[in-house]
């Protein structure tokens, strides 16, 4: 068990997707993100590890910054609540939480298996082997940092969650994600939903050619970046990761990112989806389309259909992240609360109290709201 920096000679000898990811300095292709990226080598498994010492930048991306995830992003989400009264009542609470988090240096954190994506995926055959030793090593190496794991949900990571809980890791709810179980292939239940069938018809009749990322010319990755930005940054939140064309092209080249595009007869790319997969779970961290085109074109519906078909073809579970909750429920998406599991027992009392207060607030208020409002 060892932690390797990107320039450590032993890292050059490893050829896993995680090793290539760290070796290529993946964080440098994300415009609003600062972290140190290292590789955790567990022998059979390798995982990227993000390291933040706090104070890197005020708006550091939420995939490495709990401060942005739990305060900055919360401010954005308040603007989207259907009840303006509820948003007004929650605003002082969010401001108070932000003050507490800053005072507790919450961004001083090490996150294992952090691919710098909205959703991290874990190998199905890794159920926490070596966690005891890893916990001891991280505690010794980072005595002033919280450390742990993002993107865990009971449906996909039940054994790992229980293992971490038994070791004293704190469960901090983050969001509600939507899962589609494609393990039955063409007989998967979600494919029978009325909206899924309508989406299939739309995709079939749209006239778009579906092309793989391997077919893209170098210059076309700038179009992919622009389409992602139109949806995730312009429409949703500027706090989402700012993935560059170079980062997207590197991911496609290294094989851990699989792009599919919708190309019109004129040659223009109007939509893109990028898949990241473990051996049992598929996710779609990259989705984008030309938001200036008429809504009747149904580009998001078509891209969703591509994801649902791919999960069924691979007989995998699709983790379709959060957002567009009603849309995903209509297509059979099953909600799951996602957690970060964090080790804080070695931190000073004040920091432990803030972390535990945050976890209690999110469990007692955030989770019921997510479930009640079907966020």
Q: How confident is the model at residue 28 (pLDDT cuts 50, 70, 90)?
A: confident
- Token pair 């932690």 in the structure block, residue: 3
Q: What does the pLDDT look like over 268-278, one tens digit per residue?
A: 999 999 999 99
CA distance 114 to 340: 11
Distances (CA, A) of 168 to 135, 162, 217: 10, 10, 49
CA distance 129 to 78: 39
Q: Which of 10-14, 35-39, 371-375 has the highest mean pLDDT?
A: 35-39
What are the strands of the beta sheet with 36-41, ordered from one edge? 2-5, 36-41, 46-53, 108-112, 146-152, 334-343, 170-181, 317-319, 281-289, 269-277, 258-263, 209-212
Regarding the domain with residue range 183-315, which homologous superfamily does it belong to in the CATH classification? Gcn5-related N-acetyltransferase (GNAT) (3.40.630.30)
What does the pLDDT read at residue 97? 78
Going 297 to 303 to 309 to 312, the CA torsion angle's sign is: negative
Q: What does the pLDDT look like over 213-233, one tens digit per residue?
A: 999 999 999 999 999 999 999
Residue 1 has pLDDT above 90, yes or no: no
Burial 302-314 (b: 16+ CB within 10 A, else e): bbbbbbbbbbbeb
CA distance 73 to 77: 6
**Residue 214: how many other CB atoms lie within 10 Å:** 9
Q: What's the token pair of residue 181?
A: 């179980």
What does the pLDDT read at residue 229? 98
Q: What does the pLDDT look like over 106-148, one tens digit per residue?
A: 999 999 999 999 999 999 999 999 999 999 999 999 999 999 9
Q: What does the pLDDT look like over 159-202, one tens digit per residue?
A: 999 999 999 999 999 999 999 999 999 999 999 999 999 999 99
What does the pLDDT read at residue 189? 97
Stretch 47-64: mean pLDDT, rounded? 93
In percent, how much of the chain has pLDDT > 90? 80
Q: What's the token pair of residue 29?
A: 């292709």
3-class DSSP state for residue 109? strand
Q: What's the token pair of residue 183?
A: 């393990």
What does the pLDDT read at residue 66? 94
Q: What's the token pair of residue 85?
A: 């009264």
Domain ranges of the chain: 2-176+337-372, 183-315
Stretch 53-58: mean pLDDT, rounded? 89
What does the pLDDT read at residue 330? 97
Mean predicted lDDT score pLDDT of the chain: 94
Q: How confident is the model at residue 85 (pLDDT cuts 50, 70, 90)?
A: confident
Secondary-structure breakdown of the chain: helix, strand, coil percentages, each rounded to the nearest 5 = 45, 25, 30
């Amino acid at each position: 068990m060892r932690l390797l920096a990107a320039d450590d000679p032993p890292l050059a000898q490893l050829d896993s997707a995680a090793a290539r990811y760290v070796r290529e300095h993946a964080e440098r292709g994300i415009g609003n993100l600062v972290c140190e990226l290292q590789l955790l080598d567990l022998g059979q498994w390798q995982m990227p590890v993000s390291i933040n010492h706090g104070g890197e930048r005020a708006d550091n991306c939420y995939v490495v910054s709990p401060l942005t995830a739990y305060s900055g992003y919360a401010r954005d989400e308040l603007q989207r609540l259907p009840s303006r009264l509820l948003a007004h009542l929650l605003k002082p609470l969010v401001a108070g939480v932000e003050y507490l988090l800053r005072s507790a240096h919450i961004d001083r954190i090490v996150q294992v298996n952090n691919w710098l994506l909205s959703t991290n995926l874990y190998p199905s055959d890794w159920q926490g082997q070596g966690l005891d030793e890893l916990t001891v090593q991280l505690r010794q190496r980072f005595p002033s940092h919280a450390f742990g794991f993002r993107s865990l949900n009971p449906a996909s990571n039940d054994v790992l969650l229980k293992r971490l809980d038994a070791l004293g890791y704190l469960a901090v709810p983050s969001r509600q994600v939507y899962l589609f179980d494609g393990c039955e292939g063409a007989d998967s239940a979600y494919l029978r939903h009325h909206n899924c069938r309508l989406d299939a018809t739309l995709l079939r009749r749209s006239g778009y050619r579906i092309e793989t990322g391997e077919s893209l010319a170098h210059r076309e990755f700038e179009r992919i970046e622009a389409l992602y930005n139109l949806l995730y940054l312009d429409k949703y939140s500027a706090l989402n990761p700012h993935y560059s064309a170079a980062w997207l092209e590197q991911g496609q080249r290294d094989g851990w990112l699989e792009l599919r595009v919708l190309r019109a007869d004129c040659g223009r790319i109007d939509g893109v989806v990028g898949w990241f997969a473990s051996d049992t779970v598929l996710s779609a961290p990259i989705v984008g389309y030309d938001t200036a085109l008429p809504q009747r074109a149904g580009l998001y519906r078509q891209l969703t259909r591509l994801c649902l078909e791919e999960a069924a073809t691979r007989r995998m579970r699709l983790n379709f992240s959060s957002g567009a909750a009603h849309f995903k429920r209509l297509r059979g998406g099953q909600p799951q609360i996602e957690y970060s599991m964090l080790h804080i027992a070695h931190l000073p009392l004040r920091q432990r109290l803030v972390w535990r207060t945050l976890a209690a607030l999110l469990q007692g208020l955030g989770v019921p709201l997510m479930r009640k409002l079907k966020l």
